[in-house]
Chain A
Amino acid sequence: MITKFQVAYKNLHRKRVRSLLTLIGIALSAWVLVSLLGFNHGYETSLNKDIDNMGFQLMIMAKGCPYEAATMMLKGGTGLKYMKESIMDDVAKEPEVEKTTPILMAAVFDPNKGESGGIAGYFGIEPKSFSEMKPFLKFRQGGWFTDENAYAAVMGYEAAELEQREVGDKILMPEKNIEFKVVGILERTGTQDDGTIFVPLKTAQKIFARTDEITTIGIKVKKGVDSTRLEEKMYQLPDVQIVSLAQVKDTIMKLISTAKVMVLSIAIIAILIAMVGVINTILTSVWERFQEIGILKTIGAMPGDIFKLVWMETLILCTTGGVLGVILALILSRVTDLVIRHVLPYAPSGGLVLIDLKLVLITMASILCIGLLSGLYPAWKAGKIMPLEAIRGEVGR
Chain B
Amino acid sequence: MSQKNISIEAINLKKVYLRGSEEIAAVNDVSMRINQGDFISIIGPSGSGKTTLINLLGFLDNPTSGELRLGERSIFNHTKPLSERKLTKIRRETFGYIFQNFYLIPTLTVMENVMLPLTFYQKPDTENEAVKLLRLLGMEHRKDHLPGQISGGEMQRVAIARAMVNRPDILLADEPTGNLDTKRSSEIVQVLRELNRKVGLTVIMVTHNQDLARCADRMFEMRDGKICQIACEPEDIYCNNASPDLS
Q: Does A297 belong to the interface (CB within 8 Å)? A: yes
Contacts of B118 in A (CB 8 A): 1-2
Q: A2-B116, A2-B119, A11-B107 are in contact. Are A297 and B61 (CB under 8 A)?
A: no
Q: How far is the CB of B113 from chain A (nearest CB, A)?
A: 9
CA A232 – CA B117 in complex, angstroms?
Answer: 74
User: In chain B between 119 and 172, which residues have their CB closer than 8 angstroms to a CB of chain A?
Assistant: 119-122, 127, 162-163, 166
Quick one: which of B84, B101, B119, B122 has the most chain A CB within 10 A? B119
Shortest 8 CB-CB contacts between residues of A and residues of B = A300-B92, A300-B121, A10-B107, A295-B103, A300-B120, A299-B117, A301-B120, A2-B112
Q: Which residues of A contact B116 (CB under 8 A)?
A: 2, 7, 296, 299
Instruction: Report A391 CB to chain B, min CB distance, Å.
Output: 7
1/0 per position for A1-36, CB-CB distance to B under 8 A?
Answer: 111101100110110000000000000000000000
- The verdict on A298 contacting chain B, using a C-beta distance below 8 Å, is yes
B25 at the interface (CB under 8 A from A): no
In the complex, the answer to whether B103 meets A291 with C-beta atoms within 8 Å is yes
List of B residues within 8 angstroms of A297 by Cβ: 84, 88
Listed A/B pairs (12) with beta-carbon separation below 8 Å:
A7-B105, A291-B101, A295-B103, A298-B91, A299-B92, A299-B117, A299-B162, A300-B92, A300-B166, A301-B119, A303-B84, A303-B88
Q: With A and B bound together, what is the CA distance between A98 and B204 in angstroms?
A: 90
For residue B6, give the distance in angstroms from its CB to the closest CB of chain A.
Answer: 17
What residue in chain A is nearest B105 (Cβ atoms)? A292
A259 within 8 A of B: no
The chain A residue with its CB closest to the CB of B106 is A14
A52 within 8 Å of B by Cβ?
no
A298/B60 contact (C-beta < 8 A), A2-B108, A10-B107, A386-B84 known: yes
Task: From B84, B112, B120, give the contact of A305 (CB < 8 A).
Answer: B120
Q: Is A276 an interface residue (CB 8 A)?
A: no
Chain A residue with Cβ nearest B112 = A2
Q: Check B85 for interface membership: any CB of A closer than 8 A.
A: yes
Q: B60: which of A291, A300, A391 is its contact (CB, 8 Å)?
A: A391
Contact present for A387 and B106 (CB under 8 Å): no
**Who on chain B is nearest to A298 by CB?**
B97
A1-B118, A7-B119 are contacts. A300–B99 as well, Cβ < 8 Å?
no
Q: In this assembly, does B55 line the interface, its C-beta being within 8 Å of a C-beta of chain A?
A: yes
Asked if B215 lies at the interface with its beta carbon under 8 angstroms from chain A, I say no
Expressed in whole angstroms, the minimum distance between the Cβ of A3 and any Cβ of chain B is 7
CA distance A3 to B105 in the complex (A): 14
Bound together, the chains give a CA A387 to CA B62 distance in angstroms of 12
Whether a CB of chain B sits under 8 angstroms from the CB of A302 is yes
Q: Within residues 50 to 105 of chain B, which ones have a CB less than 8 A from any CB in chain A?
A: 55, 60-61, 84-85, 88, 91-92, 97, 99, 101, 103, 105
B120 touches A299 (CB 8 A): yes
Given contacts A1-B115, A298-B97, A300-B92, are A10 and B120 in contact (CB under 8 A)?
no
- Bitwise interface map of B from 176 to 200 toward A, beta carbon under 8 Å scored 1, else 0: 0000000000000000000000000
Measured CA separation A295–B96 after assembly (Å): 11
A300 to B89, CA, bound (A): 7
Task: Identify the closest chain A residue to B89 (Cβ).
Answer: A302
A362 interfacial contact with B, CB 8 Å: no
The CA-CA distance from A291 to B97 in the complex, in Å, is: 14
Asked if A335 is at the interface (CB within 8 A of a chain B CB), the reply is: no
Is A388's beta carbon under 8 Å from chain B? Answer: yes
A302 touches B108 (CB 8 A): no
Beyond contacts A300-B117, A301-B119: 4 other A-B pairs, Cβ-Cβ < 8 A, are A7-B119, A10-B105, A299-B92, A388-B61
A182 to B168: give the CA distance in the assembly, Å: 97
Complex interface bits, A38-76 against B, C-beta within 8 A gives 1, otherwise 0: 000000000000000000000000000000000000000
Q: Enumerate B18-59 residues with CB–CB distance to A below 8 Å.
A: 55
Question: From residue 203 to 237 of chain A, which have CB atoms closer than 8 A to chain B?
Answer: none
Q: Are A13 and B107 in contact (CB under 8 A)?
A: yes
Are B119 and A292 in contact, with the CB atoms below 8 A? no
Residue from A3, A10, A300, A303 whose CB has the most chain B CB atoms within 10 Å: A300
In the complex, residue of chain B having the shortest beta-carbon distance to the beta carbon of A6: B112
Smallest distance from the beta carbon of A369 to chain B beta carbons, Å? 27
Within 8 A of B (CB), among A277-311: 291-292, 295-303, 305
State in angstroms the CA–CA spacing of A387 and B88 once bound together. Answer: 9
Q: Which residues of B contact A3 (CB under 8 A)?
A: 119
Q: Are B119 and A4 in contact (CB under 8 A)?
A: yes
CB distance from A393 to the nearest CB of B (A): 9
Cα distance, A11 to B108, chains bound together (Å): 9
Chain A residues closer than 8 Å to B117, beta-carbon distance: 299-300
Given contacts A2-B115, A13-B107, A388 and B97 within 8 Å (CB-CB): no
Q: Which of B84, B85, B166, B174 has the largest count of A CB atoms less than 10 A from its CB?
A: B84
Min C-beta distance of A11 to chain B, whole Å: 6
Q: Give CA–CA (A292, B116) in the complex, Å.
A: 12
Query: How distant is the Cα of A296 from the Cα of B101 in the complex, in angstroms?
Result: 14
Contacts of B162 in A (CB 8 A): 299
Residues of A near B84 (CB, < 8 A) are 297, 303, 386
A299: nearest chain-B partner, CB-CB? B117
Contact at B108–A295, with CB atoms within 8 Å? no
By a CB distance below 8 angstroms, the chain B residues around A7 are 105, 108, 116, 119
Please name all residues of chain B whose beta carbon is closer than 8 Å to the beta carbon of A292 when the two chains form the complex.
Answer: 103, 105
Chain B residue with the shortest CB-CB distance to A14: B107
